[in-house]
């Protein structure tokens, strides 16, 4: 079940919800999130997080009680975390019923402002979403409006532990699928990786994990038609891990994930037919408010 609330994206004039993002130390943060009507909460929008999570003290205050536990995989290993099914989660103008919410402490981002939780893939993968770092907004769509409006170079996405992974080229080192992660500070490689470059000891982190490993300079990195040179990457060379890793989404000015099409548009543009808004509101959808356009 879904509902469309709040504001639509006026530049597109479509049935699309939009909300302003705050960039805290480069990480996208969304204010105004509500869980079972309680809030508003400040949450990290983390495409690399399998689940949405809420600070345990906040969950206890609003009566969200854990009913089961889940094991989550990350670059720092596996962890078992208590969880519950929220009746309703509202974020960025979209409300979804029956969202898994973990009861876990959120990351402490640089910048001083406290987070209440993480908006992860148990919410995001039920929408199509456009994150724009330059203009600082997130647009979410529960239909096909953005699919028909946004244009650009499409890359297929694979799902790795519930998270979107895109093909990333690394020059002579070949290509591998990396999780497109708004919660990662650096490109991080896991598992075997052949390099002739010097590997330097280093520590690195995602927004939710920290780890000591190596650091290697990649002469060339490509994603779609974007190209970067001399990119520093963290490397966890552990034989039991499959080749993979994290691609820091902040390297892109914007990206659009279509979970309907299982694709990502790298730095998409709005097509001309979508550039003007409607003069009358569109017909209401199930659960939408009268201002949802």
pLDDT at 171 over 50: yes
Q: How many Å apart are CA 182 and CA 46, to the nearest integer?
A: 5
Residue-level pLDDT at 6: 44
Is 35 a residue whose pLDDT tops 70?
yes
Pick from 160, 204, 163, 154: nearest CA to 184: 204
Task: Tell me what pLDDT residue 169 has.
Answer: 95
For the chain, the average pLDDT equals 82
pLDDT for position 27:
95
Structure confidence at residue 13 (pLDDT): 43
Looking at per-residue confidence, does 240 or 100 come out higher? Answer: 100
pLDDT, average across residues 75-93: 86
Decide if 262 contacts 142 (C-beta within 8 A): no
pLDDT at 25: 92
Q: How far apart are the first and last CA of the chain?
A: 19
Length of the chain as a residue count: 293
CA 268 – CA 29 distance, rounded (Å): 21
- The C-alpha angle with vertex 147 and arms to 272 and 245, in degrees rounded to 5, equals 120
pLDDT for residue 15:
57
Measured distance CA(255)–CA(218) in Å, rounded: 23
Q: Which pLDDT band, with edges at 50, 70 and 90, does 264 fall under?
A: very high
pLDDT band at 252; cut points 50, 70, 90: very high
Domains and CATH numbers, the chain: 2-149 (2.40.70.10), 156-249 (2.40.70.10)
The mean per-residue pLDDT over the stretch 71-94 comes to 83
pLDDT tens digits, 192-205: 777 756 666 666 55
What sign for the dihedral angle of Cα 291, 35, 96, 11?
positive
**Per-residue pLDDT reduced to its tens digit, 95-153:** 999 999 999 999 988 887 899 999 999 999 999 999 999 999 999 988 888 998 899 98
pLDDT at 280: 34
Asked whether residue 218 carries a pLDDT value surpassing 50, the answer given is yes
Give residue 60's pLDDT band: very low, low, confident or very high (50, 70, 90): very high
Decide if 186 contacts 247 (C-beta within 8 A): no
């Amino acid at each position: 079940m879904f509902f469309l609330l709040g504001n639509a994206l006026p530049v597109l004039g479509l049935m699309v919800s939009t909300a302003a993002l705050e960039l805290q130390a480069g990480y996208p943060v969304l204010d105004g999130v509500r869980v079972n009507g309680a809030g508003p909460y400040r949450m990290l929008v983390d495409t690399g997080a399998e689940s949405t999570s809420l600070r345990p003290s906040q969950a206890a205050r609003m009566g969200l009680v854990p009913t089961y536990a889940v094991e989550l995989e990350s670059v720092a290993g596996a962890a078992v975390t208590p969880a519950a099914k929220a009746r309703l989660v509202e974020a960025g103008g979209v409300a979804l019923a029956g969202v898994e919410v973990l009861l876990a402490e959120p990351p402490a981002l640089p910048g001083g402002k406290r987070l209440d939780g993480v908006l992860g893939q148990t919410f995001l993968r039920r929408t199509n979403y456009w994150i724009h770092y330059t203009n600082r907004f997130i647009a979410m769509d529960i239909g096909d409006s953005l699919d028909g409006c946004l244009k650009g170079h499409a890359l297929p996405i694979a799902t790795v532990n519930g998270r979107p992974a895109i093909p990333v080229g690394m020059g002579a080192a070949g290509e591998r699928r990396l999780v497109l992660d708004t919660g990662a500070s650096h490109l991080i490689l896991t598992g075997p990786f052949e390099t002739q470059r010097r590997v330097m000891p280093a520590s690195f982190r995602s927004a939710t994990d920290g780890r000591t490993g190596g650091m290697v300079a990649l002469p060339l990195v490509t994603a779609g038609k974007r190209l970067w040179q001399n990119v520093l990457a963290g490397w966890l060379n552990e034989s039991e891990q499959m080749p993979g890793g994290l691609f820091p989404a902040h390297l892109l000015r914007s990206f659009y994930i279509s979970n309907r099409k299982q694709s990502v548009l790298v730095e998409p543009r709005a097509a001309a037919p979508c550039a003007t808004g409607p003069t009358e509101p569109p017909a209401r959808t199930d659960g939408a408010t009268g201002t949802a356009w």
